[in-house]
Structure 1
Amino acid sequence: MKIVLLSGGSGKRLWPLSTEQQSKQFLPLLTNESGQKWTMLQRTLSHLARLSLENDTVIATSGQYKDVIREQLNISCPCIAEPERRDTFPAIALSAAYLHSEMHVPRDEIVIVLPVDGGAEPAFYDRLPLLARAMHEAPDRNIGLIGARPDHPSDQYGYILPAAGTGSFLPVRDFSEKPDRLTAQRLIADGALWNCGVFAMRVGYLLDKLAERGYPARYEDLLASYAALPARSIDYEILERESHIGCLPFDGFWTDLGNWGSVARCMDKPFYGEGFMDVSSVDSHVINELPIPVIVNDTSGVIVIAGQEGILVSSKRGAPAIKPLLEGLKETAASREAPIRVHRQWIDSRSADTHGSQTNRLDLPKGAAADTLAASQVTVWTVIRGHGRVIQDDRIVPLDIGQTHTCLAPGRFVADQDAALIEVVIFRDAKRPAEELHA
């Protein structure tokens, strides 16, 4: 068998420590048996090495992560780099094409897809060879899964509903994707298992799925047409459409390290970094990467994460739900950019009976912002160099060289590259405040 280790995700739910540049699987959040810090990637590879599977493993990842993978691993695993991030189906399909075209793996070989962010005891990884053997012994099954026995009704996991059967490799009759807690409780009573995100398939099966969709099976050809592949997960693109599926149950500890609540379950102590947490703060965890202290007092069941990108304070139960908040943060980030090093140079001033006007030149380096003056009634910006965007309320208006925008309400211009503007300001009063003219 071969292992495809999925290690290309960005880990948004582990913000603020997990970022596009340093994703969650490369963060030293875990502790090994020797008390040393290690990453999800290092821990998963250690489990595979214990089973002598490291030489049968390839890593599917984003191209930007290839160097950090080589730095963190003591063993050499082929890295299959996606040209762009397009979810798990394209990544797995590209890996299958690589195995067949470049490593000459036969079509009937079993490939097991394993996510890098699983948190489980060693016995879970012992199931991988058993899953491959079960697939060999059941040629009518096109996909094999591992399902963990739930220890609580979670609304964060998908559920596998096995059908009645004999033996350990049970047929699957249905799935339920992240049900509410009451439904999860009912599913567990009916014998449902957590879907651990582990998929066993034959190489030829994956190549045939590509052919059915009109895509090439040769690695170099698929790589060249990668942008045309549907940006969908393996669950939605293949799993939901397949009826010949088997499931191998697992009765030990398993969790998905996809949010801070689940990471906390694997932490060896409740507080890392500068600060203090009092004894009345039960079941709370803190990771502080900042040089200033964090103090947690009389607050239970929370997670506090402080890093260079920001600070997160959340209940553990609410930790999985921060992704929409991050999207909102991304949308409004531009409006909070500081107007750094903006040079506003006076050009001309005129006064009328009821209004005054002033013409300025604004020079803004990339990333800087200029706000309308508080006393202005109308502000007209004309771009004479570079480009940027005007932000007013919830509207964002791109502005290129030669274009003009009139602000009848407070607004902000953000320079997307070094830019210069001619600003004409009409004030409510001809006797405008002098301190604003050269702000």
Structure 2
Amino acid sequence: MVAAIIPVILCGGSGSRLWPASRDSFPKQFLTLVGSDSLFQATVRRVAGAGYGAPIVITGADYRFLVAEQMRALGIEGDIVLEPLRRDSCAAIAAAAEIALRRDPAALVLVLAADHAIPDAASFRAHVERGRVAAEAGRIVTFGIRPDRPATGYGYIRPGSPVEGAEGVNAIAAFVEKPDLATAERYLADGYLWNSGNFLFSARVFLDELARLAPTIAGPVREAVQKASRDLDFLRLDGESFGQATAKSVDYAVMEKTDRAAVVPSDFAWSDIGAWSAIWDLAEKDADGNAASGEAVFVGARNCYVGSPDLLTAVIGLDDVVVVTTKDAVLVTARDRAEEVKAVVQQLTAARRREATEHRMSYRPWGNFESIDRGTRYQVKRITVHPGGKLSLQSHLHRSEHWVVVSGTAQVTVGDDVRLLTENQSIYIPLGAVHRLENPGHIPLEIIEVQSGPYLGEDDIRRYEDDYKRV
């Protein structure tokens, strides 16, 4: 019987080049940009079923409940592993390999980025099977995409001689950095491949190579896994040990140094969704080359993209532009300069603008809330609590609150008083009162919250009890 491949999904990063839709608080892997799933969900679904084991997802503590919720929506279970801090890709992959090895001493691991688009899952899986023979023979395999244009935004791989006994797999002659246009054109002519950043290998082989080539990563990560602790349904790596690991990409730490590197020249459709122009590339277009997500009207426009889930957006007389709207920001850019969006985020960050990193909608393990109005001494929020969801037992030093139930049933605790509220009923939470909101029903609970006070920040919360072990 052929052993199942264990998928490892790297689910960190902020995706700032897809601002304003992607921000630190809700990065691009959780967005639905192509198809009906988020990029993360599409990645999980791509490697679910026969031939694949339960996935190992490596993410940060800030995203743990988003990961869990999106996996629950798919009905797929796996290990969610929490990095205590970012140490680039190699440490994350090493931790996953250590965990896979504890599952199965002969484990084959398939490492995937959570934010890549690969529309043809069957073709991708066929390429994985092509690489399996080489991985089982001790090769560390990556997937190199045959380029269809001289792209300057990707690293490249120069394939070497064929790997004996593994049809369709080549040794790697060289990794090369992102080129200028003239060099990219030469690479295209010379048969170079785009470096997709996805890998297939034996967990044991990878960890042995890591110990040989980068012991300052291998040792601390092994210790971080050994000292890992359970936190609800998550596995939290030991912070002190993990923090000692050198921050380095897997390419620099292992792939460029090992003599075991191999590549599967691949022709499945692939994009790392590095800019809004990539969304236009993948989207269905009208006769004038325009594409839209949400409601859009095009008049005398060609080759444009509109991403506007909440607002009707019209584009008149423009060619090759991208327009993206959210509830608190609008982006307009020439399509061929879409990668420069990162510079906008840097300016907003330097100016300490909330829009650089946060959406008006914020997600929590119990549901979400959206700020819909704000003034000097007040804020209005729409709060949604999942069935069975429960906010922490808490108090505030600087604000009082009024809650109005819009739909569903709320169980509200204020001091020693516990009561049920239904649609159109309301309650007042005095400043300093210990209180809690719960949804005991079977449908989502929606309330409108009006806060009043001199300080309305999210850090004005003192928690006494919390089902999600937040402090």
Q: Is the 8 A contact 2:111 2:198 kept in 1?
A: yes
1:272 aligned onto 2:293: yes
Is the CA contact (8 Å cut-off) linking 1:162 and 1:192 kept in structure 2? yes
TM alignment of 1:221-260, pairs within 5 A: 221=227, 223-224=237-238, 225-260=241-276
Q: What CA distance in whole angstroms lies between the structure 2 residues aligned with 1:193 and 1:417?
A: 47
Q: Tell me the secondary structure at the aligned position of residue 168 of structure 1.
A: coil
Q: In 2, distance between residues paired with 1:29 and 1:251?
A: 22
What's 2:95 paired with?
A: 94
Are positions 1:170 and 2:175 aligned together?
no
Q: What's 2:18 paired with?
A: 14
Shift of 1:220: 3.1
Cα distance change of structure 1 residues 226 and 341 upon mapping to structure 2, 3 Å threshold: same
1:179 CA displacement: 0.7
Aligned to 2:386: none
Partner residue, 1:132:
132
Q: Are residue 217 (structure 1) and residue 252 (structure 2) matched?
A: no
Asked if the contact 2:136/2:201 (under 8 Å) is kept, the reply is no
Superposed displacement of residue 285, structure 1: 0.8
SS at 1:94 equivalent: helix
Give the superposition deviation at 1:306.
0.8
Count of paired positions: 334
- Report deviation, 1:129: 2.4
Structure 2 CA distance, aligned partners of 1:263 and 1:275? 16
Change in 2 beyond 3 A, CA 1:173/1:285: same
Aligned partner of 2:58 in structure 1 is 60
Q: Secondary structure at the match of 2:97?
A: helix
Deviations 1:155-191 (A, max 9, x none): 1111110123364211111111211121011011111
The CA deviation at 1:309 is 4.5
TM-superposed CA distance for 1:203, in Å, is 1.4
Residues of 2 paired with 1:99 and 1:3: CA distance?
A: 9
Residue segments in structure 1 that go unaligned for 5+ positions in a row: 32-36, 343-364, 367-414, 419-439
Larger deviation, residues 9-18 vs 80-89: 80-89
1:213-245: CA deviation from partner (whole Å, max 9, x where unpaired): 242525133732112222222122222222331
- TM-score calculated relative to the size of structure 2: 0.65
Aligned to 2:305: 285
Q: Secondary structure at the match of 1:255?
A: coil
Give runs of aligned pairs for residues 10-89 of structure 1, distance below 5 A. 10-31=14-35, 37-49=36-48, 52-72=50-70, 73-89=74-90
**Partner SS for 1:247:** strand
**1:203 is matched by which residue type in structure 2?**
A
1:119 to 1:298, Cα distance in 2 relative to 1, 3 A:
same
Q: Percent identity?
A: 29
Q: Deviations over 1:29-75 (max 9, x none)?
A: 222xxxxx22112222222125x255342111122222222222311
Deviations 1:365-400 (A, max 9, x none): 99xxxxxxxxxxxxxxxxxxxxxxxxxxxxxxxxxx
Q: Distance in 1 between matches of 2:98 and 2:268?
A: 34
- AA matched with 1:150: P
Counterparts of 1:53 and 1:198, CA distance in 2: 18
1:117-156 matches, cutoff 5 A: 117-120=115-118, 121-122=120-121, 123-137=123-137, 139=138, 141=139, 143-156=140-153
TM-score normalised to structure 1 length: 0.69
Distance 2:10 2:280 in 1: 22
Aligned to 1:307: 326
After superposition, the Cα gap between the structure-2 partners of 1:335 and 1:112, relative to the gap in structure 1 and judged at 3 Å, is: closer
Cα shift readout 1:8-36 (whole Å, capped 9, x = no counterpart): 222111111112221111112222xxxxx
Describe the shift of the 1:309–1:228 C-alpha distance in structure 2 as closer, same or farther (beyond 3 A).
farther
1:295 corresponds to 2:314: yes
244 and 210 in structure 1: CA distance in 2 versus 1, 3 angstrom threshold: closer
Q: Answer yes or no: is the 8 Å Cα contact 1:289–1:308 preserved in 2.
A: no
Q: Residue 441 of structure 2 aligns with which residue?
A: none
What is residue 351 of structure 1 aligned with on the other side? Answer: none
Which amino acid in 2 is paired with 1:194?
W
Deviation at 1:304, TM superposition (A): 1.0
Q: Are the counterparts in 2 of residues 110 and 200 from structure 1 also a CA contact under 8 Å?
A: yes
- Change in CA separation of 1:53 and 1:78 when aligned onto 2, cut-off 3 Å: farther
Q: Does 1:114 align with 2:112?
A: yes
Distance 1:285 1:204, change over 3 A: same
Q: CA-to-partner distance for each residue in 1:74-109, whole Å, 9 max, x for gaps?
A: 1112111112233211211121222224x2x21x43
RMSD of aligned alpha carbons? 2.9
- Cα contact 2:220–2:242 (8 A) shared by 1: no
Partner Cα distance (2:37, 2:55) in 1: 19
* Separation in 2, partners of 1:263, 1:86: 29
Deviation, 1:299, is: 1.3
1:11 alignment partner AA: G
CA drift at 1:331: 0.2
**In structure 1, how many angstroms separate the alpha carbons of the residues matched to 2:40 and 2:295?**
26
CA separation in 1, counterparts of 2:124 and 2:44?
13
**Counterpart contact for 2:145–2:270, Cα < 8 Å:** yes
Structure 2, unpaired ranges of 5+? 229-236, 286-290, 357-373, 378-397, 400-455, 460-471
How many angstroms apart in 2 are the aligned matches of 1:228 and 1:153? 39
How far apart are 1:275 and its partner, in Å? 4.2
- Relative distance call for 1:145 and 1:275 in structure 2 (3 A) is closer
Residues 136-169 of structure 1: per-residue CA shift (max 9 Å, x gap): 23x3x3x211111111010111111012336421
Q: 1:216 to 1:294 in 2, by over 3 A?
A: closer
Cα distance between partner residues in 2 of 1:287 and 1:229? 40
Alpha-carbon distance in structure 2 between the residues aligned to 1:256 and 1:126: 20
Check whether the contact 1:210–1:216 (CA below 8 A) recurs between aligned residues: no
Aligned to 1:196: 196
Distance 1:17 1:61 in 2: 20
Distance 1:135 1:54 in 2: 15
